[in-house]
C-alpha cells in the first residue's frame, strides 16, 4: 500500500500540536551545534549556551510583556501548570481553585490538593459569583485559562483579578495561556495574571519545552530541586536547543499574530459556515448567548453533530487524511467524554458527536475546500448507516 502524500492530508488539529516553523527548527539545530556547553558553567562554551538561553528569554519576555527575570523555562505546558498550582500552594498551604474547563494539567493538581473546581455557564464563562463565595484570606491561587483548548472560549481575567483584589489579597492568579498565545495579545490580556503558562509546540516551537511567567512579586516554591537553575525555580540542565527554538517561534508568533488571526479567522468562518450550510442541524459550540457573540480564538472551529459518534467520524476522516479531534487529546489517544462540554451543560448525547477542528498559521484555502468537500458527506454517510 502506498503512503498518502502530504497534499492528500488536511491537518485540522493545530490545538493538539503544530508543525515547527522552519526558522525555529533552524535555530534548534544551530543551538544544538553551538550551545552544547552546560549553561551553568563558567568557561567559553558554557557561556555560549547561556547566551542562547538568555536570548530566548528576552524573546519570550518581549512576546508576553514580562521582564526577562520573570521567564522560567521548563519541560512542558503541563509542568508549567503544575509548578504554578503546587508552587503557590506550597508557599502558605492555602486553598486552591480553578475553573471546571481547565486542561487536566491544572484540573488534576487542583483536585489532588482538595481544591475547588468552579462552575462555568453555558458559554464556558467562569461563574464569578461562585468565585466571590470562596474568595478569602485563605485562598492561595485561582487558575483560569485565557482560552480553552476545546471550544476556544476566551475568559475575562480582569474581572477575576478584581474579585481577588477585593476579597482574596493573598491569592495569586494563574492563567494557562497555552492555547491563547497563538491568537491573543497575551501581553495585554494576561496582564492581570501573576503566573502565565505557555507551551512551545502550540505555536510553531518544539514539544517538551514550556514557560511559566512568574511575576517578580509572586511567591511560589520550586517543585523540582537540584542545581537551582531558572532563578532557583526549576532545577535541571537547560534544553538549550529547544529553548532557542521556542524563543524564535514566540517572537514570530507575536509579530505575525494580527495577520494570522485575520487570515485564519476568515478560513475558520468559511469552514464552520460551509458545514452549517450543508448540515443545518449542526450546533456550533459556545457561539452565541442570547444576542451576544461569545469571544473565541480565531483558530477554533468546534461543532456538535446530533445523532453521530465522534469516534466513528474521526475514524472515517482519518482514512481520507483529515486529522481532527473530539475532546482534547489525552495520553492514551482514547476519546474521553469532554469534561469541558459537560461543564457547559451539554447533554451527553450531543457532546458525543463533537468535532474539534483547529486551524493554525499554516492552514490554507485548499485545506478548507477539502474539509468542506469531505466532512459533511462523512457525517451524512454515518447518519444513513445508523438510520
CA distances from 283 to 45, 110, 120, 246 (A): 57, 31, 19, 36
As measured in angstroms, the least distance from the Cβ of 373 to ligand PLP is 29
Strand partners, 192: none
199 binds ligand PLP (CB under 6 A): yes
Q: For ligand PLP, what does the binding mask look like between residues 335 and 374, x meaning CB under 6 A?
A: ----------------------------------------
As measured in angstroms, the least distance from the Cβ of 106 to ligand PLP is 7
Task: Give the number of other CB atoms < 10 A from CB of residue 218.
Answer: 20
Question: 176 or 230: whose CB is closer to ligand PLP?
Answer: 176
223 binds ligand PLP (CB under 6 A): no
Question: 37 or 77: whose CB is closer to ligand PLP?
Answer: 77
% helix, strand, coil for the chain, step of 5 = 45, 15, 40
Member of 64, 126, 145, 212 binding ligand PLP (CB under 6 A): 145
Cα 320 to Cα 201: distance, rounded to the nearest angstrom = 25
Residue found under cell 492552514: 363
CA distances from 277 to 30, 88, 255, 312, 327 (A): 48, 48, 35, 22, 24
Residue nearest to ligand PLP (CB): 77
Member of 178, 308, 322, 340 binding ligand PLP (CB under 6 A): 178
Cα 154 to Cα 181: distance, rounded to the nearest angstrom = 12
As measured in angstroms, the least distance from the Cβ of 77 to ligand PLP is 3
Taking CB under 6 A as the binding criterion, the range among 40-48, 71-79, 336-344, 372-380 that sits at the site for ligand PLP is 71-79
Nine-digit cell string for 37: 556547553
> Which of 178, 184, 248, 163 has its CA nearest to residue 213?
178
Task: Give the number of other CB atoms < 10 A from CB of residue 237.
Answer: 12
174 binds ligand PLP (CB under 6 A): no
Nine-digit cell string for 55: 536570548
Q: Are 143 and 112 in contact (CB under 8 A)?
A: no
78 binds ligand PLP (CB under 6 A): yes
109 binds ligand PLP (CB under 6 A): no
Member of 206, 210, 299, 353 binding ligand PLP (CB under 6 A): 210
As measured in angstroms, the least distance from the Cβ of 80 to ligand PLP is 8
Question: 78 or 363: whose CB is closer to ligand PLP?
Answer: 78
Taking CB under 6 A as the binding criterion, the range among 23-31, 70-78, 158-166, 332-340 that sits at the site for ligand PLP is 70-78
Question: 124 or 210: whose CB is closer to ligand PLP?
Answer: 210
> Which of 78, 8, 9, 14 has its CA nearest to residue 325?
14
Question: 17 or 136: whose CB is closer to ligand PLP?
Answer: 17
Catalytic residue positions, numbered: 330
Buried b (16+ CB within 10 A) or exposed e, 180-210: bbbbbbbeebbbbbbbbbbbbbbbbbbbebb
Question: 297 or 308: whose CB is closer to ligand PLP?
Answer: 297
Instruction: Compute φ and ψ for 322, nearest 5 degrees.
Output: -110, 120
Member of 125, 149, 251, 325 binding ligand PLP (CB under 6 A): 149
Please, which residues have CB within 8 angstroms of residue 139's CB and are 6 or more apart in sequence? 94, 95, 96, 97, 164, 168, 170, 171
Q: Which residues contact ligand PLP (rule: CB under 6 A)?
A: 76-78, 81, 103, 105, 145, 149, 176, 178-179, 199, 210, 328
Amino acid at each position: 500500500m502506498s503512503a498518502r502524500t502530504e497534499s492528500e492530508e488536511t491537518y485540522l488539529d493545530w490545538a493538539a500540536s503544530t508543525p515547527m516553523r522552519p526558522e525555529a527548527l533552524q535555530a534548534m539545530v544551530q543551538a544544538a551545534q553551538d550551545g552544547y556547553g552546560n549553561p551553568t558553567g563558567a568557561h567559553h562554551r558554557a557561556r555560549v549556551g547561556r547566551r542562547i538561553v538568555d536570548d530566548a528569554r528576552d524573546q519570550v519576555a518581549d512576546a508576553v510583556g514580562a521582564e526577562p527575570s520573570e521567564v522560567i523555562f521548563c519541560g512542558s505546558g503541563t509542568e508549567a501548570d503544575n509548578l504554578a498550582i503546587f508552587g503557590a500552594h506550597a508557599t502558605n498551604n492555602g486553598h486552591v481553585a480553578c475553573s471546571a474547563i481547565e486542561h487536566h494539567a491544572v484540573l488534576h493538581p487542583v483536585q489532588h490538593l482538595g481544591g475547588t473546581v468552579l462552575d462555568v455557564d453555558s458559554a464556558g464563562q467562569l461563574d464569578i459569583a461562585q468565585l466571590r463565595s470562596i474568595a478569602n484570606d485563605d485562598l492561595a491561587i485561582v487558575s483560569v485559562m485565557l482560552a480553552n483548548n476545546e471550544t476556544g472560549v476566551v475568559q475575562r481575567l480582569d474581572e477575576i483579578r478584581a474579585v481577588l483584589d477585593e476579597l482574596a489579597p493573598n491569592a495569586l492568579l494563574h492563567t494557562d495561556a497555552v492555547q491563547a498565545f497563538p491568537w491573543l495579545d497575551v501581553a495585554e490580556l494576561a496582564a492581570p495574571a501573576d503566573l502565565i503558562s505557555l507551551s512551545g509546540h502550540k505555536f510553531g516551537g518544539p514539544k517538551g519545552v514550556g514557560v511559566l511567567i512568574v511575576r517578580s512579586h509572586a511567591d511560589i516554591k520550586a517543585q523540582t530541586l537540584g542545581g537551582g537553575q531558572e532563578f532557583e525555580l526549576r532545577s535541571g540542565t537547560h534544553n538549550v536547543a529547544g529553548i532557542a527554538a521556542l524563543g524564535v517561534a514566540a517572537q514570530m508568533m507575536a509579530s505575525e499574530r494580527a495577520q494570522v488571526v485575520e487570515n485564519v479567522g476568515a478560513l475558520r468562518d468559511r469552514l464552520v459556515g460551509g458545514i452549517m450550510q450543508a448540515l443545518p442541524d449542526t450546533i456550533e459550540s459556545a457561539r452565541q448567548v442570547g444576542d451576544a457573540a461569545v469571544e473565541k480564538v480565531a483558530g477554533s472551529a468546534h461543532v456538535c453533530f446530533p445523532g453521530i459518534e465522534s469516534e466513528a467520524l474521526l475514524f472515517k476522516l482519518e482514512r481520507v487524511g483529515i486529522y481532527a479531534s473530539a475532546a482534547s487529546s489525552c495520553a492514551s489517544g482514547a476519546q474521553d467524554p469532554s469534561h469541558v462540554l459537560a461543564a457547559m451543560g451539554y447533554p451527553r448525547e450531543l457532546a458525543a458527536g463533537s468535532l474539534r477542528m483547529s486551524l493554525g498559521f499554516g492552514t490554507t484555502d485548499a485545506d478548507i475546500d477539502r474539509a468542506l468537500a469531505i466532512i459533511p458527506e462523512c457525517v451524512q454517510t454515518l447518519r444513513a448507516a445508523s438510520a
